[in-house]
Structure formats: C-alpha cells, structure tokens
Structure 1
Amino acid sequence: MADVVNSNLLDLDGDVAQLTRQLCDIESVSGNETAVADAVEHALRGIGASGGTELEILRDGDTIVARTRLGKPERVVIAGHLDTVPLADNLPTWLDGDGDEQLIYGRGTADMKAGVAMQLSVAAALRNPQRDISWVFYDHEEVNAELNGLRRVTENHPDWLAGDFAVLGEPTKAGIEGGCNGTLRAEVTTRGRRAHSARAWMGVNAIHAAGHILSRLEAYQPQAKNVDGLDFQESLSAVAISGGVAGNVIPDECVVTVNYRFAPSMSASEAAEHLGTLFEGFELRVTDSAEGARPGLDRPAAAEFVAAIGGIPEAKVGWTDVARFSALGVPAVNFGPGDPLLAHKDDEHVPVAQIYQARDALLNWLEG
C-alpha cells in the first residue's frame, strides 16, 4: 500500500488524480465532513489570489458555495457531495496498475471525491468562463434525506442554488446521465379474519389473499418513457412482505411493500394514483416518495454540454440529487468520473484516466 497522501492543504493547481487522493484521505463519513469542508473552503479562497476567476464564498454548516459574479447571461451550478459511507479498511488510498490502466482504490474514490476533485481542479484552472458558475460542495448526502446539505440550503438560501442548468458530479464513467427517475414506496394491505389453524375454515387468510397482489405485480409490464430525448425505464417491484401472528393462527393482515421507479414525466402524486388504480380493491398507503428530474437537454446550455462532453447521453434510472435542482426549476444531469456500480463497495476505485477525461471535458465546456 502506498504512503498516505492525506493533507488538509489541497493542491488545486497540481495533478487532479493526486487531488482525488488528498480529498479521499481526509476521512469524511457522513456527519464528519467538517475537516474536508474546511480544506475545500481554504482552497477555494486561494483561487482569486492565485490568478484564477475570483469567487464569492458562502457557507452553511459543512456546505460551501463558491460563485462567480461576472454578469454573464447564464449561470450553471456544478455540485458534489463531500461525505462518504463508512470505511471498510479502505483508507488511506492506494494505487494499482500503470499508465492508462492505473486505478485509485479507497473509500470515496468513485462516490464521489473524484468528482469533487474534478470540480476543484476546473475551478482553479478557469480563466475566462463563458457562463457564471456556482460551485456547490455539500454534506450528508449518504444518510437520511432530512440531513442533506442541499435540502438545508434549499430551505435557508434558495438563491445560492439558482441557475439555468446544473451538473451533479455523481459517477457516470465520464458520460452523461440526464435527470433521474422518481421513486415511491407504498404498502399494499390485505385483510382477513383470525381463526385457529386447526379450524382454518373459520377464518380468512390474509397471506393467501396477498397472492392477488403478487399476481398483479408479476403481470405488470414496465414502460420506457421518452423525456427530453432520453428513455427512462420504469420498474415496479415487491421489496418486502410481512404477515402472520403465530404458528397456529390464521393471519388477519398481510402487507406487501412495493417500490415504484417512475419516469420524470410523471409526478409523485400521479405515480401514487397509478398504483391506486393497479391495486384497486386493496388498501394502499404511500410511505415515502421523491420526485424525479427532467434532464432538460433541450436547454441551450445542456445542448452545448452534450456537444462538449461527447458520447450519447443516457437516462439515470436511479434517484440522485439532480431532483432537488429540478424542484427549483433547474434542469440537471449527472456527470463525473467513476463507475456507479462500484459506489459503497469495499473495493471501490476509480480509473485515473477517467478523472483526467472528465476534468478536461468540463473545463473545455466552461471555457467555450
């Protein structure tokens, strides 16, 4: 394992792969983001003094916003979260491989400190941005949504997140994943009548009745819906089932929990109505929901972003914080180095070449 790179003095003008390691080696499991937030703020404050585009620095807890004030006709928001899931004996970071095949291993490399390093490196390198930019670095993304730093800033300082288009640096293997599906969880309940299992005919078995719910789920044909030029694949699945009183009792209640991932052309309330129709005749209670996000690829800034990055944009089937920007009327895409399938894994890693690729593409777009 290589030597520790950890330093609270981030070098924004150096190698972006080394910057990724510096960021990762400042441990920042959700709730412990202050050290890395302090390091990011200190580094951002030095950009203007070093000849870069001067930034106004704002802070709410461990969320930092650094924005230009150039009077440009458009403003883009580029955001990334500073926290990680808990460690798995995978810090400090280490390198594996050589040349174009070199990988950085360690917690946060893919999700998403390589994306944060991309942001910081580009912010320091910019000399003549064609748009005003708001750089956002936020806390508590990996835990309960009530704690999310973007949510807090949305409530306390919504103007900090204002813009015409947003980029969230979540891992996408340096490709574009537009918007995101919405998500809804609901409990579908059957009712029966209790009885002794030796005289089962005296009762009504609620678990048996749940078979009708499962049959409807099995017969359901998920749809792909085109939104702003991207095909969002929906899905509807049973994710839990509970019922039963004792080994000798016919149960009078059974609950099937379903998860519905719906395209951003549909609101959460419309998704709930859809499930109400599908499960007509059963009790249905929505327990959690989050709106999706349109990618807004028809916006000029988005079209230029796609042209600069290259490749064919894909729809984000999972939920990400781009939905928070969408709720503010700011269309958003996901773009960053790293494979989302490696997020939270013990062997989390990111290709060094992908960090360079994403960093250079973002810089080229912002400089026009």
Structure 2
Amino acid sequence: MGLDLKADVALLTAALLDIESVSGNEKALADAVEAALADCSHLRVTRDGDSLIARTELGRAERVILAGHLDTVPLPHTPGSRGTVPSQWDADPESPAALLYGRGATDMKGGVAVQLALAASLTDPVRDISFVFYDHEEVQAELSGLGRLARNYPELLRADFGILLEPTDGVVEGGCNGTMRFEARTSGLAAHSARAWMGHNAIHELAPILQRLAEYQPQTVEVEGLEYRESLNAVKINGGIAGNVIPDQAVVEINYRFAPDKTIEQAEAVVLELLKGFDVVRTDAAPGARPGLDQPAAKAFVDAVGGAPKPKFGWTDVARLGQLGIPAVNFGPGDALLAHSDNEHVSGQAIRDCLAALTRWLS
C-alpha cells in the first residue's frame, strides 16, 4: 500500500516509520516517496540515487528549500524497546496527547511527513518551494545524499532561504555546531597473557588519552547572540584479538562538536593540542553554520512562526546549505534529545502544529 499524502500528517508519519530506512537501506522509502509525489502534477520531481527534489515552478519572487533526510540510525538492540520498526502508538492517534514511537520518529520522519503533506497540499504557495528528500545523513559526510545532489544538480538547489525539518520542538534553531572525528592509535607488543611481562599492552597505553579527554572542560561560545555548547568525547575503543593475547594495537575514536565560530582547521588544532604527543589523525569533518538570523528571510520566518530562537547543538545540514550560500534554519517537530534513543517518540500533535505553522507561512 502506498503513502497517502492527504492523510492526517501524524498517520503519514507512522506509515513512513513502518518502512525501515537505516542508512544504506533507503531505497524502499525513496521508492514510496517518489511514487506518492508522482500524483502531484504541480511538482517537477528529479531523483538521484535514493534522493529526490520536487519543485514548484510558479515564477515567484522568492524560493525556499524544505529539506529532510530519509535515513535513520540502526535499530535498537535493547529487548522491549519501543523505538524500533514498525511504529507504535501509546494511545488513540487522534488524541492530542498520543505519542508515536519508532526508530526515526524524532529524527526525522515527522519532519519528512510535514514536507510530503505540504508538497501535496500547497499547489499555489506564495513562495516557490523545493522539497528535498535525501539519503545517508546519519553516516560519514562524504556519503551524504544532499552533498551528492549539490554536486549533480546545483541548479535545482538554488534558493533564497532554507528550512531543515530536523527536530527542534517547534522552535526555530539557528545555525549548528560543527563535528569532526579522530582516531588516536597506540602500539605495543603482543604476548601470551599468561606471560604478560613479555609484551606491552597497547590498550593500557590509551589511558592517558582517555584521562586528558575526561579532564577537558568543553567551552560554551556565544555566536551572534546564541550560546553553543561544545563537547569532546571518546566514543569508541578497539583493540585486542583474543582473550589470551596482550594487544599490540589499540585505537580510540573521538568526536568533537565545536561552535560555529571555528573553522575546521581551528577546531582540529584544539584537539591536536590537547592530545599532543600522541598519534592522532582526523578521519571526518563537517563545518558548523553561523545562525544567520539577521538575514531578511530568516527574520521573516521567525516573525511568522513566533518564539525565541535557540542554538542547534547537533550538526545538521544547515551547514551544507550555508556552504551553498543559502541562509537556513532548523525547524521541525519532536524533541532532539530523544533522537537515536531506544525510547524515540514524537507527539502526533507536534507534527500537526509544525504543518500548520509552515502552511500559514507558505500560503
């Protein structure tokens, strides 16, 4: 059964959740989105891999991008978790208090459902709209479907303003922190664990690296009136080949979330200085985005939806839109603190409220 873009947007969200779309496995969902958009004769649809762009072409004075990613992080392993696939409601979906559980409920199938509902309903918007649905957001930056679209179809991504429908609890969030990953490696000498004195334990050599990370005090940086909290953490450790062998190699993966006042080079220098003397290599990086709320289009949007703007602590593709010269903000349903959790859920009413706010602004 296909997606019904005219259905209640909360029920549409549940239908999206029921199509598993972990990064690398977005094809089934992209197929369903493409089939549903085919019924929207007022849109010109372009597909590239598992990403799609659907555009109105009404000759309006202003064009806005509404963007969202189709993929999710892997499904939870915790027994009894409700943040999985298929989706689950905790009450009658029509109840304003009903919560929808499932992987991607917060990040960001609610936002994608709002995009699709708007794509179907807004046949005569006051601004031309480019609806962008893309794959591979939850993995390495070089795999990003949005990045691929920017390379392959730059002319279709030109716009005056962008809105990324990442979860913000219905509040405008300006800019975003940047993110980068590192690997710090240590070497030792393999030996039988019964004769450990004959070897040198590479995992133990990680201890001073972990100590420096544990003692580091992340900054809070004010950028254009918004306060961005940074974080620097070990996120994964690998080492050892067997339970009776002293490991001769070990690696700790490190993630640094940095405020948008820093370039990638400046942020990298912070980590390399902290871990001076160790073998540290940057493996991935994506710049942050300054808020840009002083731009006319951003100010008009904030005035239309109301509320006091906040900073976005997580990295989002507003940074990628910013690199394309498009001022952009985050605005979508759901609490970002629930993203990627085993308890991931979104309020059906929050999805409806987001749709109503964007409909008012675009109608």
Under TM normalisation by the shorter chain, which class is it?
0.7 to 0.9
Distance 2:136 2:205 in 1: 41
* 1:357 is aligned to 2:350: no
The structure 1 residue matched to 2:4, chosen from 7, 11, 20, is: 11
Alpha-carbon contact 1:234-1:261 (below 8 Å) kept: yes
Correspondence for 2:97: 101
Distance 2:217 2:180 in 1: 17
* 1:164 is aligned to 2:160: yes
Correspondence for 2:314: 318
Distance 1:25 1:220 in 2: 42
Structure 2 length-normalised TM:
0.82
Secondary structure (helix, strand or coil) at the match of 2:96 reads: helix
Name the stretch that deviates more: 329-338 or 298-307: 329-338
- The alpha-carbon distance between structure 1 residues 281 and 94, as it changes in their structure 2 partners (threshold 3 A), is closer
Which digits, 9 at most, give the CA deviation of each residue in 1:16-72, with x for residues without a partner? 122222222333343443333233223323233xxxxx2221111221101122333
Correspondence for 1:338: 334
- Aligned pairs for 1:1-368 (under 5 A) are 7-8=1-2, 10-48=3-41, 54-87=42-75, 90-98=84-92, 99-188=95-184, 213=209, 216-239=212-235, 257-367=253-363
- The alpha-carbon distance between structure 1 residues 268 and 47, as it changes in their structure 2 partners (threshold 3 A), is same
Name the stretch that deviates more: 288-297 or 29-38: 29-38
Which digits, 9 at most, give the CA deviation of each residue in 1:197-245, with x for residues without a partner? 8699xx9x98888666556545543222222332111122344567899
Correspondence for 1:51: none
Structure with bigger gyration radius: 1
Alpha-carbon contact 1:293-1:331 (below 8 Å) kept: no
Alpha-carbon contact 2:189-2:202 (below 8 Å) kept: yes
Distance 1:326 1:17 in 2: 30
**Structure 2 counterpart of 1:292, one-letter code:** G
Distance 2:164 2:75 in 1: 23
Distance 1:256 1:39 in 2: 40
Unaligned runs of 5+ in 2: 77-81
Distance 1:352 1:76 in 2: 25
- The alpha-carbon distance between structure 1 residues 299 and 215, as it changes in their structure 2 partners (threshold 3 A), is same
- The alpha-carbon distance between structure 1 residues 92 and 253, as it changes in their structure 2 partners (threshold 3 A), is closer
Q: Following TM superposition, by how much is the alpha carbon of 1:159 offset from its aligned partner in structure 2, in angstroms?
A: 2.1
Q: Following TM superposition, by how much is the alpha carbon of 1:248 offset from its aligned partner in structure 2, in angstroms?
A: 12
Alpha-carbon contact 1:268-1:289 (below 8 Å) kept: yes
Aligned residues: CA RMSD: 3.4
Alpha-carbon contact 1:197-1:248 (below 8 Å) kept: no
**Structure 1 counterpart of 2:89, one-letter code:** L
**Structure 2 counterpart of 1:179, one-letter code:** G
**Structure 2 counterpart of 1:27, one-letter code:** E
**Structure 1 counterpart of 2:355, one-letter code:** R
**Structure 2 counterpart of 1:277, one-letter code:** E
Secondary structure (helix, strand or coil) at the match of 1:100 reads: coil
Q: Following TM superposition, by how much is the alpha carbon of 1:189 offset from its aligned partner in structure 2, in angstroms?
A: 6.0
Unaligned runs of 5+ in 1: 1-6, 49-53
Structure 1 length-normalised TM:
0.81
Alpha-carbon contact 1:294-1:331 (below 8 Å) kept: no
**Structure 2 counterpart of 1:45, one-letter code:** A
Name the stretch that deviates more: 11-20 or 262-271: 11-20
Correspondence for 1:3: none
Alpha-carbon contact 2:141-2:285 (below 8 Å) kept: no
Name the stretch that deviates more: 71-80 or 58-67: 71-80
Alpha-carbon contact 2:6-2:121 (below 8 Å) kept: yes
Q: Following TM superposition, by how much is the alpha carbon of 1:116 offset from its aligned partner in structure 2, in angstroms?
A: 1.1
Name the stretch that deviates more: 87-96 or 316-325: 87-96
**Structure 1 counterpart of 2:59, one-letter code:** G
